[in-house]
Structure 1
Amino acid sequence: MPGYVARWFIEGDVDWDAWNEQLQRAGPLLAGALFGAGWCCWLDSMIYQAAVVGVSTPFKYQGPGIASTVALVAINLIPRRELADEAWEEGAEMRARLWLFCSFLVALGAVADSVAVLVATTSSEGLAGVGVGSVIQSFLILASSLIFWAFRSDGSQGGYGAM
């Protein structure tokens, strides 16, 4: 079996175009499912805290989820064709890369903020469920933004990346 798999990749029997087409079809669906799952985890932790523990969650702990969502939108505003060498105007490629870099910094900052929320809620306030929900939410939204950016269409077929 291992020899067959190695020969499959080496000899080129893989139809990479078909795989890419399937991933471009399923990628946005998977990204949307991860995004929804992230917000559902956060809502579940808030509802659990209010219904079972009896403690309402302060608004300040919603920052990581909101920042992750803003980063998802910012990451996916840049079409991949602007990162190519054939930029339309001089400097467009650099601006696109700088925007993408700053967007990823916001996303990673949201993950770090969610870890800080986890530490703060478990050590002092007893809102451990909210901290765990915040970390899961931030990671799922970050994964969603990466998957959506990687597997959306490139604009030649129309669709998400056509701007």
Structure 2
Amino acid sequence: MGCLPEGLIDWDAVYSTIQPHATFAAGVLFGVAWWIWGDAQLYSMSVGHSSFSPLTLIPGLVATAAVVIMNFVSREEVRQDALDDADAMRAKLVLLLSYLISLGAICGAVVLLVQAHQGGKDMWVGASGVLQCCLVLASGLLCWFFHAGEEAALGGYGYL
């Protein structure tokens, strides 16, 4: 149905190859996201002689909360086809809520970037907030998508 011929890529083999390393990669992305934000804050305070604004912390914390909420739901719960099943609908609503919170975090970071631009401040702090939110949410999606599931011997994530 797509642009590639049927059977050209064995997606199950690709998934099983990436899955053991996905949790580690998600953790690295998460750490890099917060490091970028902290680096921008320290650069702005030391070179730009600006003060720390706790307001710049909010989008990253909201994105982190969205990732935590997202990973409360397993893919097996979302895959259930029965729309009248209360558990499946609850899982889908929690996942939708986490996506909406994620969108709010990115929008908040963009607002802070626009305010920094309009105020003539250092834009690296605002840009790092947007980048931080995107990387935190990418790490959450990576962790959620490659979650091992109920059938795994390790009970979920590859490195836990």
Which runs of structure 2 are paired with 1:1-163 in the superposition (5 Å)?
10=6, 12=7, 14-85=9-80, 90-124=85-119, 126-157=121-152, 158-160=155-157
73-82 or 20-29, which deviates more: 20-29
Q: Distance in 1 between matches of 2:108 and 2:145?
A: 25
Tell me, yes or no, if the aligned pair for 1:122 and 1:128 is still in contact at 8 Å.
yes
Deviation at 1:14, TM superposition (A): 5.0
Q: Distance in 2 between matches of 1:125 and 1:71?
A: 31
State the one-letter code of the partner of 1:72. V
Q: Distance in 1 between matches of 2:51 and 2:31?
A: 22
Pick closer, same or farther for the CA change 1:85–1:124 going to 2, 3 Å: same
Q: Distance in 2 between matches of 1:33 and 1:25?
A: 14
Q: Distance in 1 between matches of 2:139 and 2:24?
A: 10
Tell me, yes or no, if the aligned pair for 1:57 and 1:130 is still in contact at 8 Å.
no
Q: Distance in 1 between matches of 2:111 and 2:10?
A: 45
State the one-letter code of the partner of 1:92. D
Give deviations 1:74-97, integer Å, cap 9, x for gaps.
Answer: 00111111113277x931000100
Structure 1 gaps, min length 5:
1-5
Deviation at 1:29, TM superposition (A): 1.6
Larger radius of gyration: 1
Q: Normalized per residue, which structure has more helix?
A: 1
Pick closer, same or farther for the CA change 1:84–1:48 going to 2, 3 Å: same
Give deviations 1:53-107, integer Å, cap 9, x for gaps.
Answer: 11122101111000000001000111111113277x9310001000000100000
TM-score normalised per structure 1? 0.84
The count of residues paired between Structure 1 and Structure 2 equals 152
RMSD, aligned α-carbons: 2.1
Provide the identity percentage. 36
- Name the SS of the counterpart of 1:53 in structure 2: coil
